[in-house]
Amino acid sequence: LEEALRHYGDRGAGPVVVPRAGLEFDSCEEAFDYYNLYSWEMGFGIRYSSSQSYKKHGETYRNMVLLVCVCAGTPDAASKNSIKQGCPAFMRLLRTDDDGWYIKEFVADHNHKMSEACGEKKCWKSHRQIDPHTKELIKNLRANNVSLTKVQCILSSFFGNNNVSAVTKRALRSLTVQINREKAEDDVQKTIENDVRINREEAGFANVVDLDDDGKIKTMMWTNGKSRHDYLCFGDAITFDTTYKTNKYNTPFGLFVGVNKHFQSVIVAGVVMLDESIKSFEWVFTQFVALMGGKVPKMILTGMRACFQRK
């Protein structure tokens, strides 16, 4: 890309990115992004067409990849929405001896009208991908509570068009979901590490985790020495409430709460649940009794009557 920018300074016109035979890349993905950027400038979409592979030491490696215009291929007469019209444009990639990639062949000719790079309503599928730098910008904007609409406006101004954005709102929503999922997984890992630290520093602290079939956390419950002592003294009647969903992941947060002899509320245990299924509640109450040394409360006030009836 740096080489393309330098050559563009000499030309002064035309697309910034111009594929040519012999151009090398560190990976096939980098080559795809390069060709995709060129296609965005010119006004057409691209896709993977075919590839060739070979086996080495039991592993399969690709040694040829063919990227074509989305209008390549035989037109489908049975489909009114088919965009295939035999476009000859393509870029053929071959693997180098050091596992890099280079352009073996490049054909720039098309047999159809080009769309405007960022002005036409039609958006090619390959252009819906968001590059890492734009992703980082979106991540920072969302971390500062910037709405998706404003994020889209900011991206539009960067691409020089305030009316049409190069990134659709649907793509922004999908990326936001991905970012939140990654953040949640990171927060879960930090929570586990924090629990290990507290358990090491505080002898009475205890927590228990329920995992799904993929090893991901479904439910997490914790308590400490003071809460256990309060439960032994005032745990005959407690309340359990999961109406708290104020955390940013909108997951149910439950509290086991008792009342001491001064009529003050005492927190006995806390639990974060991924869902509110009967099976999850059964796990929570079973583990709660185990955490409290086997003492079963005489009364629990809660809104999950159906769950208790089944229990």
Interval 266-306: pLDDT, tens? 999 999 887 777 888 889 999 999 999 999 999 988 765 54
Please report the pLDDT score of residue 123 as a whole number: 66
Query: Are 76 and 150 contained in the same domain?
Result: no
Name the domain boundary from 148, 171, 201: 201
Q: Is residue 119 part of a domain?
A: no
Please report the pLDDT score of residue 175 as a whole number: 80
pLDDT of 161 > 80? The answer is no
Q: Is residue 102 part of a domain?
A: yes
Query: Are 168 and 214 contained in the same domain?
Result: no
Domain count, the chain: 3
Residue 172: pLDDT band with limits 50, 70, 90: confident
96-133 pLDDT per residue, tens: 999 899 999 999 999 998 886 554 545 677 877 676 77
Please report the pLDDT score of residue 200 as a whole number: 77
Query: Are 104 and 139 contained in the same domain?
Result: no
Query: Are 102 and 168 contained in the same domain?
Result: no
State both tokens at 89: 């444009």
Query: Are 190 and 276 contained in the same domain?
Result: no
Please report the pLDDT score of residue 311 as a whole number: 46
Q: Which residues of 218-242 are buried (b: 16+ CB within 10 A; e: fewer)?
A: bbbbbbbeebbebbeebbeebbbeb
**Mean pLDDT, rounded, of the chain:** 81
Query: Are 232 and 285 contained in the same domain?
Result: yes
Mean pLDDT score, 149-175: 70
- Find out whether 87 and 111 touch, Cβ atoms under 8 Å: yes
- Find out whether 219 and 283 touch, Cβ atoms under 8 Å: yes
Q: Is residue 45 part of a domain?
A: yes
Please report the pLDDT score of residue 247 as a whole number: 54
Query: Are 53 and 141 contained in the same domain?
Result: no
> 3-class secondary structure for the chain?
CHHHHHHHHHHCCCCCCCCCCCCEECCHHHHHHHHHHHHHHHCCCEEEEEEEEEEECCEEEEEEEEEEECCCCCCCCCCCCCCCCCCCCEEEEEECCCCCEEEEEEECCCCCCCCCCCCCCCCCHHHHCCCHHHHHHHHHHHHCCCCHHHHHHHHHHHCCCCCCCCCCHHHHHHHHHHHHHHHHHHHHHHHHHHHHHHHHHCCCCEEEEEECCCCCEEEEEEECHHHHHHHHHHCCEEEEEEEECCCCCCCCEEEEEEECCCCCEEEEEEEEECCCCHHHHHHHHHHHHHHCCCCCCCEEECCCHHHHHHC
Greater model confidence, 86 or 186: 86
Q: How far apart are CA 269 and CA 238, in angstroms?
A: 11
13-40 pLDDT per residue, tens: 667 788 999 999 999 999 998 898 888 8
Q: Is residue 123 part of a domain?
A: no
The amino acid present at 194, given as its one-letter code, is N
Q: How far apart are CA 42 and CA 91, in angstroms?
A: 15
Q: Is residue 47 part of a domain?
A: yes
Query: Are 192 and 138 contained in the same domain?
Result: yes
- Find out whether 108 and 69 touch, Cβ atoms under 8 Å: no
The amino acid present at 252, given as its one-letter code, is P
State both tokens at 147: 């709405």
- Find out whether 204 and 222 touch, Cβ atoms under 8 Å: no
Query: Are 297 and 211 contained in the same domain?
Result: yes
Question: Range of 70's domain?
Answer: 1-113
Q: Is residue 122 part of a domain?
A: no
Query: Are 257 and 192 contained in the same domain?
Result: no
Strands 265-273 and 253-259: antiparallel
Query: Are 292 and 270 contained in the same domain?
Result: yes
- Find out whether 69 and 127 touch, Cβ atoms under 8 Å: no
Name the domain boundary from 53, 81, 113: 113
216-243 pLDDT per residue, tens: 778 889 999 999 999 999 989 999 887 7
Residue 77: pLDDT band with limits 50, 70, 90: confident
Whole-model pTM: value is 0.50
Please report the pLDDT score of residue 121 as a whole number: 43
Give the residue among 171, 293, 141 at the shortest CA–CA distance from 232: 293
238-270 pLDDT per residue, tens: 998 877 665 556 677 889 999 998 989 999 999
Please report the pLDDT score of residue 130 as a whole number: 72
Residue 165: pLDDT band with limits 50, 70, 90: low
Name the domain boundary from 167, 184, 201: 201
Cα angle vertex 301, ends 295, 303, to 5°? 125
Please report the pLDDT score of residue 63 as a whole number: 93
Q: Is residue 125 part of a domain?
A: no
Greater model confidence, 208 or 306: 208
Q: What are phi and psi of 20, to 5 degrees?
A: -155, 155
Which residues lie below 8 Å from residue 191, measured CB to CB, with a gap of 6+?
220
Query: Are 224 and 292 contained in the same domain?
Result: yes
